[in-house]
Amino acid sequence: MRVLFMGTPKFALPSLEKIYRHFELIGVVCQPDRPAGRGMRPQPPPTKVFALERHLPVYQPATSRELEDVVLSLKPQCVVVVAYGKILSSKILSAVPYGCVNLHASLLPKYRGAAPIQRALMAGEKNTGITVMLMDEGMDTGDILAQETVSIEEEDNLETLSEKLSHKGADLLLQTLQRWFRGEIEPVPQKGEPTYAPPIQKEEFRICWKATSESVKDRVRGLYPNAYTLTPEGHRIRILKVRPVEGTGEPGEILSRNRLVVACSKGAVEIQELITPKGKRVRGEDFLKGYSLKNFL
């Protein structure tokens, strides 16, 4: 089976490796190189690195028209999409005999959109999952080929849950594709009320201490490692891990000099790990030894 893979970030790598091992992988399509790091030099996506190391053709179309030209010229029997980052046109969808099969990190129709893992964690969900679906012209609205539920553990954050879902998703994707190609699966329309997972906006990364302690905890988990707060002087502190504790005070007030306990609108949180304004990762109680603060903004 001639398969064209479309995917860009680290999340797509386990699925890409399964396709590479089990099918005739005719190429990898990913987003263009983006500036990153201190020097802001263009960096290749993880899937591009994987492909080049194995001497696979790599395509990085900058426009929808270029993407159409790539797919139509390669004539794949199936297109597999994992976190590629663009909706495919009807021209592409109708040109592929076995369709465009997408792995999505939620139990559709819940959390359609670009940030399903972040939004599930931020909402305090106890379970999420993965869906293998046939793509249509909508945003994550296609018929379902397979689904699997995945528990969200108390210690999970964006990094750990993404890793878990990427590997479980790759396994389910491979099993589903093998059955799909053998004609053993009947696609099923999505059922239930859809919810949405829009991209994370810049302002959402800043912790609002007027929220409840549970909400703060979930936001830190969902935006790991980039949730932050500000000191009264305007210095940014990235918060990596918190736990709800008892405490009462004005939102943002630091309630203890032994542990870094911060008041919320309801309850408080102990900041267990953070990154200082100088970029050093420290425990909350150690941070207090070097900084004299009364509150966060």
List, as one string, the DSSP characters of 136-197: -SSSS-SPEEEEEEEE--TT--HHHHHHHHHHHHHHHHHHHHHHHHTT----B---S---B-
213 is in an annotated binding site: no
The answer to whether the annotation marks 74 as part of a ligand binding site is no
191 burial class (0-12, 13-18, 19+ CB within 10 angstroms)? Answer: exposed
Residue keyed to tokens 């891990």: 241
Find out whether 106 is annotated in a ligand binding site.
Answer: yes
Contacts of residues 253-257 at CB distance under 8 Å and 24 or more positions apart, as own/partner, are 253/294, 253/295, 254/293, 254/294, 254/295, 254/296, 257/288
- Where is the binding site for (6S)-5,6,7,8-tetrahydrofolate, in residues? 106-109
- Where is the binding site, in residues? 106-109
